[in-house]
Amino acid sequence: MISYPDTRADDHVEDHHGRKVPDPYHWLEDTTDPRVHAWIDAQNAVTEEWLADAEEREAFRARLRELTDRPRAGAPWCRGERWFQLRNAGLDDQPTLWVADAPDATGAVLLEPTAEGDETTALTGAAVTRDGALLAYALSGEGSDWQTWRVRDVASGRDHDDVVEWSKFSPAAWLPDGSGFFYGAFDPPAADGAYLAATRGQWLALHRLGTPQADDEVVFVPEDPDWVLSPMVSDDGRWLVVTLSRGTDPHSRVWVADLAAGESEPRPLLDAADASYEPLDVVGGELYVQTDAGAPRERIVAIDLARSRVADDDASRWREVVAEDPTDTLDHAVIAGDRVLTLWLADASSRLRRDRLDGEPDGEVALPGLGTVESLAGRPGDPLVHLTFASFTRPSSIWRHHLETGETTEVGVPRAGPLPFDPERFVTDRLVAESADGTRVPFFLVRRRDLEPAPDGGPHPTLLWGYGGFRIPVTPMFRTHWLAWVERGGVLAVPNLRGGGEFGAAWHADGRLERKQHVFDDAIGVAQQLVEQGWTHPERIAIKGRSNGGLLAGACLTQRPDLFGAAVVEVGVLDMLRFHHSTIGWAWKSDYGDPEDPADVDTLLAYSPLHNVADGTAYPATLVTTGDHDDRVVPGHSFKFAATLQAAQSDPSSPVLLRVDRSGGHGAGKPTAMAIDERADVLAFLARTLGLPADSER
């Protein structure tokens, strides 16, 4: 029986529009409090003691290192006569940026984020001038969203003196002559520890090279502090294009400035915020925009900027370039050469199509199979397009498509060598479950080819991973820890839950706000089907998710503790009455609702994991993970949920563990060694609680 750390329960009560809601572990939100630090250490000690007894922990760690220790690289991109590419030799803590004179050349290291010895320092932004001479790069430390921009001379590898701080959620966009760049930033936090405070009021500035940041010109401040900015300078260098979004709401605005005419302050172009608008680039004076205006599965239109001196929200003036598809969803697009390449989701898997800029279809680009195009790199006038492609059982590979010949070839990753596993041993099935309201919910099932459902092979330890939110599509993706699980005889189920972006705007809308419960019902429906079909039993299935997926896991384990043998809740949004008070949490109201609105409180309370833990309930074994420097979903969510669940748990055989990464954030930029340790601990937890056979062959 586990002896949990003593966690003080206060009589703190929150008043939500007249509703008195106890919040006894409110004090755990303050990560500057020495008592909270001591509590974290005590929780980590309990978790470490339990995991130390997990027989498979070291075996999983060794296997994850083996699967990770091979060269990886992203799609190369070109600026001027130079090619740039992110690479990792295998176990490097962070990817390194390389520069070469050709896409296949070895080249040289341009930027190593960890050069000064901090393995948590990650490259989180990179923008190169049109001539390839200067690199603006952003570094972040300890997993934080805050970025600091610097400028490096590409030829010499030396940094300029420029330092631009307190940027977040924004790329850099260079002026055409390379004399400066636009960026989005916030006022610096007021005091130590204030990084947890709500982050509002982003502004757009222009930094001129060789000048202090204090002299930067603020070119645009939105009237509403909840609008978040993303600047882009068109490939021809003439236009500044700024996308504005209210948090995570897909409805957006687009403002523009004619740099060639001496403008720097943008003016409205698409300002109704009535649909999603994603600018692609400007070609021939037309701005190409991906949008769901009049097309729930999205389309691409062109807007003549020369005619649009005022806001041009009149769709009758737009030229349709790529029409909405009746069955597939437009996920992403790039303009390359004299064509637009459109990436579609066909039943949640990638399909790549070519269209001419005049709107004429130009055929399909053959892909290696069922999987995901993870990145697509090309630009107007460039005859080459590079992409990366992955599936559940094949890691990311690099492919080159020649626009003139139509030829697509695998470039591969230099010195990658053979895979340390045989992909043919595994199979990915496409199945469908039924949700509580009768909605059909598709899901992927990944397994070893020799595994079958009962009575011949089941029940198998099964991991159900999901997300279901913010219009983010879930498609086939390669994860080393998933492969380590499946090759040992575990089953992986990955559903396309409502709230995601796989099937267009309507699918997203049916899993947000007052319909958020549909997301949890969908995951529960998939779990029930896995049981009914004989793949597993309730005591051998785990629900797992990260961030918004952590909310999914928390809601499912509190709503149906009888259906799961384990749960892994990673950096989850778990307190649905206070998520909006910290960092960027307010931005999620578009999916969750507003706790300040009395009409939304009942909906939020109905599924909030923290508020639906019931004393004396037998909950499944649960592992809660977070980072003490997470400034996306602040760690107080995880701290309070773990403490509440520990106090309520009635089954002494099912542990409730909290694992906190020191100097860790939300996940992006996590050093490779730290990530391997975390994944090994999660797999060891699942193997022990679900009964994964220790003698399964790889």
* Active-site residue set: 547, 666
The pair of structure tokens assigned to 637 is 């969510």
Residue in 511, 581, 583, 584 with CA at minimum distance from that of residue 551: 511
User: From CA 63, how far away is CA 98, in angstroms rounded?
Assistant: 28
User: From CA 31, how far away is CA 25, in angstroms rounded?
Assistant: 13
Three-state helix/strand/coil letters over 518-576: HHHHHHHHHHHHHHHCCCCCHHHEEEEEECHHHHHHHHHHHHCHHHCCEEEEECCCCCC
**CA neighbours closer than 13 Å in the CB half-sphere of residue 484:** 26
Decide if 564 contacts 620 (C-beta within 8 A). Answer: yes
Query: How would you label 648-659 residue by residue, b for 16+ Cβ within 10 Å and e otherwise?
Result: bbeeeebbbbbb
User: From CA 187, how far away is CA 167, in angstroms rounded?
Assistant: 9
Residue in 636, 640, 637, 628 with CA at minimum distance from that of residue 666: 628
User: From CA 26, how far away is CA 31, in angstroms rounded?
Assistant: 11
User: From CA 629, how far away is CA 664, in angstroms rounded?
Assistant: 5
End-to-end CA distance of the chain: 33
| Residues near 50 by beta carbon (within 8 Å), at least 6 away in sequence | 2, 655, 657
User: From CA 249, how far away is CA 436, in angstroms rounded?
Assistant: 27
The pair of structure tokens assigned to 98 is 């390389």
Task: Name residue 303's beta-bridge partners.
Answer: 287
Handedness of CA 208, 209, 211, 214 (dihedral sign): positive
User: From CA 202, how far away is CA 129, in angstroms rounded?
Assistant: 24
DSSP letter for 187, please.
P
Decide if 560 contacts 524 (C-beta within 8 A). Answer: yes
Residue type, 681: D
Three-state helix/strand/coil letters over 583-623: CCHHHHHHHHCCCCCHHHHHHHHHHCHHHHCCCCECCCEEE
Handedness of CA 533, 535, 540, 543 (dihedral sign): negative
User: From CA 265, how far away is CA 219, in angstroms rounded?
Assistant: 5
Residue in 411, 328, 402, 404 with CA at minimum distance from that of residue 368: 411
Residue in 498, 428, 426, 315 with CA at minimum distance from that of residue 698: 426
